[in-house]
Amino acid sequence: MAIRPGRCYRKIKRPYTRQSQRKPKKGYIKGVPGSKLQTFEMGKPKDSYTLKVSLVSTQHVQIRHNALEAARVASNKSLTDSVGQENFYMKVMVFPHHVLRENAMATGAGADRYQSGMRLSFGRPVGVAAQVKVNQKLFSVQSIPGKYTEIKRAFKIAMSKLPVPCNVVVEKPIVSGKAVIVEKAIVSGETVVEKAVGA
């Protein structure tokens, strides 16, 4: 069965998807589906990195595990090609805890004979998603000086996989010979916020 569109699960809701650890039979759902997102840290962590850039959500939204994995793979590939595997450290800052349910409807000829409609329409677990708040970090990248443009390009690619507009936030000052032009001024201290294109 094909996966449903992301707009079906984009809004934050609180359905009864509790899974009891001590008494699994008491849980509202019978088991939690697996997540495609298994790797949360990429690159090589170092204490010498002086540049830190994060991708921040601008809305309350639910992001499914497959969208997070697609954004992670795309941005990691872009950073590996442009910066190098040894020159950056990327971390996924959210985890898909929330269980999604679907009441599968039968289709085809004669489906109404054995379809119960909305009766007992609680649904079965079909996936997991991360519930994200406004200004919450999705991805964070640390790198060597002068690689802001490459990180920004990787985040733009990642944003095309996500169902929410995002901001690119520079958390650590850029130690480089040339200045980086940003669209918004300094907010507080040494934090610079830039509105990403397409957000």
**Domain ranges (residues) in the chain:** 42-100+122-199
Long-range contacts of 18-27 (CB under 8 A, 24+ apart): 19/99
In tens, the pLDDT along 101-143 reads 888 777 766 666 667 777 777 788 888 999 999 999 999 999 9
* Buried b or exposed e, range 145-158, using 16+ CB within 10 angstroms: eebbebbbebbbeb
* Pairing mode, strands 88-92 and 137-143: antiparallel
Sheet containing strand 166-170, strands side by side: 41-43, 88-92, 137-143, 51-57, 166-170, 191-195, 186-188
Give the pLDDT of residue 101. Answer: 86
Mean pLDDT on 31-56: 91
SS3 at position 37: coil
Give the pLDDT of residue 105. Answer: 76
User: pTM of the entire structure?
Assistant: 0.78
CATH assignment of 42-100+122-199, among 3.90.1170.10, 3.30.2130.30, 3.50.50.60, 3.60.150.10: 3.90.1170.10
Give the pLDDT of residue 125. Answer: 86
